[in-house]
A and B are shown apart, each in its own frame.
Chain A
Amino acid sequence: MNPIITAFVNGIKKSGLELSNIVVVSDIPFEPEVIKEAGVDFFHVTRGRAIAFGTGLKLGNPDLKVVAFIGDLMTLGGNHLVHSGRRNMEMLVICVNNFIYKEIAGTPAPSVSPGFSAFSTFERPFNAPHLANSCGAVYTARWTALHTNELENSIANALDKRGFSVIEVLSPGPNFYKEINQVDSELLDFYYKNSVTKNNEDTRNVEITPEEKIVTGEFTDKEKSPFIDTYNAQLGKILGDKFIPLGGQSGRD
């Protein structure tokens, strides 16, 4: 089974949250067995829309704990990511990054997955933790899929946060669906060996470049009023008793 999903399931267990309250939204399909084992609710939606779908789930029922898996590297869903960060929508986003770089740390990377053209990699990738941080995320972290323990703890920590949290996981091939067991272990190992953990590093310095080692760690961990709290506070202030706040005893049917 894919190490990220294992780590995710273990992370939930570590966080001690009620499993049935957790809803996973993903734009990549998971194996049904995994979801069954995890005991959570799962939605597989159109590409890039996991965060927006999760926003609806959260506002429809504020008691839910929403986790969004993004497999598309913020291509289609980049806008939802930055805006949810700005709102500080309470949600954990696990961003699976399977970028391909021809050279990392001066060494040619092992062969890229078939189907990826060598021509497709000249664009500079996003510094995902920095983008998330600059939009207002309360928690950002980056790990490779082999940092199992750290990733598990990170997921548990992020699930405890009230606010928009982003964890970037470097992993070769987002191919959870078909041949889950055939992870390119050689490439994974390469990422792992070429990474260096620097917790609390300024997110500006964690860009992944061919020259330097990949910086992993927990970068941001701050407190900020999540969207629903801000909403309840502002509307409560203006409307007073007439306002029915979201969440808890909200009088929703």
Chain B
Amino acid sequence: MEPLKMIEKDIQPMDVHPMNDILRMDRLPHIWCPGCGIGTAVTAFAAGLDKANIDLKKTCIVSGIGCTGRVAGYIKLDSFHTTHGRGIAFATGIKVANPDLKVIVFSGDGDLISIGGNHFIHAARRNVNMLVICINNFIYAMTGGQVAPTTPLAAYATTSPFGCVEPPFNIPYLADSSGAVYVARWTALHVRRLTNSIAEALNKPGFSVIEVISPCAMYYSRINRLGDGLDMMKFYHDNSEIRHGEDTKNLDIGFQTKIIVGKFVDRERPTYMDSYNKWLSGTKKAEK
């Protein structure tokens, strides 16, 4: 059901938030700064969940640590707020132990790609059935603006006070080359497309990655003098280009350069559980 329609079904529309079914209203207000894009991504996620028509009782959301790590705590699913970087590993455990569950990992770039980079590439390699939503705000925001593996070259951060000297990861390319079956990138401005993408990926078997470029008004924008959240949104509006099916190796993001968005990879590969079941049934036959 569309979020707006939810209002109609309730007796007293003003009393109930349209996302009452999906958000933990008792935990609001949230911790995110004004101008942050995570809230927008959460809204898109909530709408996407609704659209995907999946059993919410059988859906888990796992987060790591960081600003985006707090997402799990605001979503009315079975939520797990785990240790730094271990979201995907935790989710792998959930999925493999109980394949009936739908698992979503919602976390940030530092958490998923830096400290959790190994789990990220290995889960993609195994093709564990889960959706990873990676908010990329180019910085470690929760700890106060440190350089991240996604910080563009020459951008400033508190631990790179003279400009970042490490080329950033191209997350879709990393996901693609490790074996993800669904890879998309949107900005926090592309709410409708992001919603559709989330709904689509939720019904896709295998390891799916959606990168969401999000403004960090408090740290990334402030340190680099890029204005506030709205200025960043305007920047996305003017500088993002939708190119579906683009070769993932062309998706590098430089400092304030063009951002290519779209759905880049959508392919079929046997998932971890499929290979597991096939292999084990094959072996049993061979033993007989």
Contacts and interface: CB of A to CB of B under 8 A. Distances in A.
Task: Tell me, yes or no, whether A and B come into direct contact in the complex with CB atoms closer than 8 A.
Answer: yes
* Main SS class of interface, B: helix
Nearest to B170: A134
A123 B126 contact: yes
Nearest to A117: B283
A130 B167 contact: no
Of A76, A122, A127, most B-chain CB atoms within 10 Å: A122
Interface string B257-288: 00000000000000010011011100100000
Contact of A130 (B118, B169, B177): B177
B246 to A, nearest CB: 15
Given A124-B127, A134-B170, A204-B177, 6 more contacts: A82-B169, A130-B177, A134-B249, A234-B163, A235-B163, A238-B162
11 contacts: A76-B118, A82-B118, A123-B126, A134-B170, A134-B249, A227-B166, A230-B167, A234-B154, A234-B165, A237-B163, A239-B162
A220 to B, nearest CB: 12
B18 interface: no
Contact of B163 (A76, A204, A238): A238
Interface in A49-93: 75-79, 82-83, 86-88
A78 B249 contact: no
Given A234-B154, A234-B165, A238-B162, A82 B114 contact: no
Given A231-B165, A238-B163, A122 B278 contact: yes
Given A86-B166, A87-B166, A131 B121 contact: yes
Interface in A90-127: 118-119, 121-127
Given A86-B167, A86-B168, A134-B173, A124 B126 contact: yes
B117 interface: yes
A230 B283 CA distance: 52
Interface string B229-272: 00000000000000000000100000000000000000000001
Interface in B102-133: 114-115, 117-118, 121-122, 125-127
Per CB-CB distance, the 6 closest pairs between chain A and chain B, nearest first, are A122-B279, A79-B118, A134-B177, A79-B117, A238-B162, A78-B118
A119 B174 contact: no
B179 A122 contact: no
Interface residues of B, number: 35
A231 B278 CA distance: 49
A88 B167 contact: yes
- The prevalent SS among residues of A at the interface is helix
B145 interface: no
Interface of A: 75-79, 82-83, 86-88, 118-119, 121-127, 130-131, 133-136, 204, 227, 230-231, 234-235, 237-239
B162 to A, nearest CB: 4
A79 B279 CA distance: 28
Contacts of A130: 177
Contacts of B118: 76-79, 82
B167 A119 contact: no
Contacts of A227: 165-166
B178 interface: yes
Interface string B118-153: 100110011100000000000000000000010001
A189 B166 CA distance: 41
Contacts of B249: 134
Nearest to B272: A123
A127 B165 contact: no
Contacts of A125: 125
B267 to A, nearest CB: 12
